[in-house]
Amino acid sequence: MPSNHSRVSTDTERGGAHAADQADERAIAEPAISLQKLSRHFGERTVLREITLDVPTGQTLAVLGRNGAGKSTLLRILATLLRPHSGKATLLGHDLPRNAWAVRGKIGLLGHEPLLYRDLTGRENLIYHARLHRVDIERVEEVLQAVGMERRGDDPVRSLSRGMVQRLTVARAILHRPTILLLDEPKSNLDPAAGELVEPLIGRASGATRVLTSHDPQAALAEADLVLALSGGRAAYVGPPQGVDAKLLKELYA
């Protein structure tokens, strides 16, 4: 016959497992990214005005708009590099910027700046970032091979072409296996072969929730589950890619 202690331990274990299951269900039910009336300004100029949307886990949000529309500003807020001035931003159930510390390790940012030290080699940069994220050093060699830079990994970043630096930037962004990818023109400076090489790492096959900007709206629409079209900091359209027609694109980029 089992003892009372055994029964109590079993009940405790079952209770803990049930609580964990409930937490997992909540995480799945909640959108990966939620914005409620998000606004940001620089001086008297409003860059984002009351943006509201939800991005379900594993889906891709394409952000469209001409230069200065607020696309990069939105990505910087989601990357916890800028604070919104009003409204609410939630990533993976955590409010920004109050709980930014809880999500920074789950975000991979691929922006205009490579975030690499030019005087260090590619391999040294990735080892540095691996230590920041407490990632096994073996992962460095894995991502170098994945982006085709294993043979140039010991060259200083300053000596590399823009395309090679972009490959290393992709490697840095995915090094820690992020669940959210923030991709600002992710294939800029990449030739078609390099673009195909990194596609499994930052494309749909990555399985990550993605926020994507691109100067090629048709390419962005082809990857999108949801579209945010920005015009003068306002949401001109939020919805499925099928709702973006030639008239809207002309208005956005006129």
In 3D, which of 245, 246, 230 has the Cα closest to residue 66?
230
Type of residue found at 212: L
Question: What's the angle, vertex CA 111, arms to CA 63 and CA 92, rounded to 5?
Answer: 65
pLDDT tens, residue by residue, 198-213: 999 999 999 999 999 9
Mean pLDDT of 47-72: 96
The full set of domains in the chain, from first to last, is: 30-253 (3.40.50.300)
Stated pTM of the model:
0.87
pLDDT tens, residue by residue, 122-138: 999 999 999 999 999 99
With b for 16 or more beta-carbon neighbours within 10 A and e for fewer, the 169-180 pattern comes to bbbbbbbbebbb
Tell me the residue length of the chain. 254
